[in-house]
Amino acid sequence: MRLLRSTVARAVLLGASFALATPALSPEQSALARPAPDSFADLAAKLLPAVVNVSSSQTITAKNGGPGAGPEMPMFPPGSPFEQFFKDFLNRNRPGQGGNGGDNPPPPRRAQSLGSGFIVDSSGYVVTNNHVIEGADEVSVTLQDNTTLKADIVGRDESGDIALLKVKSDKPLPTVDFGDSSQSRVGDWVLAIGNPFGLGGTVTAGIVSARGRDIHQGQYDDFIQTDAAINRGNSGGPLFNMNGQVIGINTAIFSPSGGSIGIGFSIPSNMAKNTVAQLKQYGHARRGWLGVKIQQVTPDIAESLGLKDASGAMVAGITDGGPAEKAKIHSGDVILKFDGQDVKEMHNLPRIVADAVVGKDVPVVLWRDGKEMTVQTVLAERPADDQLASADATKPADATKPTAISGLGLKIAPVSQDLKDKFQLQDTQKGVVITDVSPNTPAAERGLKPGDVIMEVQQGEVTSPDDVRKQVDAARKADRKFVLMLIQREGGVQYVPLSLSKAPAGKDKQPG
């Protein structure tokens, strides 16, 4: 299956199901069960006027398509009567084929895409998906009564796929309100209204199929899944609860063919309404930023740190001058809670931090040195370039002969000018350099290789082979199954747990 996020957008349809036999429910089950609505007509009539069609257009020139590129097909809804007409027309007028003649470039032309949106303010603010209007130089909004209004782009959030538009009207416009998406439960009825395939206002229904879906479209993924079919043309349209509140923005589908199979995804309203407010006030999304690089806490890492469960987000790097550094959060800390919310796994943390208010003083619960501790940090706004600064460097130690670390399959040496030249290390490199790795050893199994640099062992900074040996020996004496090392290589820094159970101290075979 493939994930579709077409600039033509998508819609939501109902696949009805019927029970052939209804088993008897207990009194407790009966109290929880809710009957299906007799009709959605009254609710739909109330909501339809606030849902709009969004049309965006862009000028396409020969330069956009590259040298020798011919005209491209405008983005019509599949099945449109204009589709075949334009296909035949453009085939006759490609460079070197009739109309334009030889090497003459085709004239500029307009490409159009269609989507949906909804009005959240009677003065004319309209919410839609960013991918509906991305790259557009003209955007228009069509109301339910077929009135078409020119729209200005107030702000766009590419990473969250949300855009805010503004239209001018001589009268107040009908609106809908955001609801609390956290209160929506799996199995709740939902209603969707949008512009599937350019047909205009269309009402469909379904249920919430799942919550908190990560579909790998970005680090803030937290989608509501619905069995209401989302088709092309419905992107940016609202997903309503039975109180008529917007709990989601319909955005994407899984599909093997481009059509709906009942697996659609909506951006939760609790995420969207914060972004919309920021777009209205600042013109861009202001997300909280902690200034850390993180990695998943694996069972091996958890065991090496004395953590009961493999949960939380492990800090693998700190941005210079960022909120985490100011709060004295260290590399090797495991973030267990942020602002009162549990960090069950690494991927939870970016969403929680991003949703926090910039400038807010928040508590962060850490696991450090075998126990929990809490620090306070003041969140900054995430930088536009999303790049983390490199860690501060210290002077390297003097060069010495490589030292074997028993049981791990490593030979290591302090940083020297020769090793800097050999492995192309930075002049300010700190740590201990791996000079050799034996095959079929814990180090080899974890992918360590010559030129990698050991920065820490068991969360303690190391500057010499003796530091490494002492930390490894201490881990063995503590009956640890793994020893945790912070490794720096070309791709960045990462914590790597090495098994201590493969061979007893002093018994491993080292390279000659």
DSSP string, 316-339: EEE-TTSHHHHTT--TT-EEEEET
Q: In whole angstroms, give the CA distance from residue 464 to residue 435.
A: 13
Q: Cα Rg for the chain, rounded, in angstroms?
A: 29
161 carries an active-site annotation: yes
Q: In whole angstroms, give the CA distance from residue 391 to residue 156.
A: 32
Cβ(48)–Cβ(239) below 8 Å: no
Q: Which residues contact 99 (CB under 8 A, 6 or more apart)?
A: 92, 93
Q: In whole angstroms, give the CA distance from residue 425 to residue 413.
A: 14
Of the residues 157, 161, 222, 339, which is catalytic? Answer: 161
Q: In whole angstroms, give the CA distance from residue 228 to residue 239.
A: 9
Cβ(195)–Cβ(55) below 8 Å: no
Q: In whole angstroms, give the CA distance from residue 457 to residue 495.
A: 9
C-alpha to C-alpha distances, 181 to 162, 177, 186, 449, nearest whole angstrom: 16, 12, 11, 48
Q: In whole angstroms, give the CA distance from residue 239 to residue 271.
A: 14
CB-based burial label for 498 (10 Å; 0-12, 13-18, 19+): buried
Of the residues 56, 57, 116, 131, which is catalytic? Answer: 131
Tokens 């908190």 -> residue: 212
DSSP string, 180-205: -GGG--TT-EEEEEE-GGG--SEEEE
Of the residues 235, 266, 331, 464, which is catalytic? Answer: 235
123 carries an active-site annotation: no
Give 83's Cβ-side CA count (13 Å radius): 9
Which secondary structure element, helix H or strand E, spans residue 342, and what is its range? strand 341-342
| Residue (of 161, 153, 165, 111) closest to 131 by Cα position | 161
235 carries an active-site annotation: yes
Give 292's Cβ-side CA count (13 Å radius): 29
Q: In whole angstroms, give the CA distance from residue 165 to residue 251.
A: 17
Tokens 């075998």 -> residue: 370
Q: What angle do CA 476, 478, 482 make, to 5 degrees?
A: 55
Tokens 């290589």 -> residue: 489
C-alpha to C-alpha distances, 194 to 171, 229, 445, nearest whole angstrom: 23, 11, 53
Residues labelled catalytic: 131, 161, 235
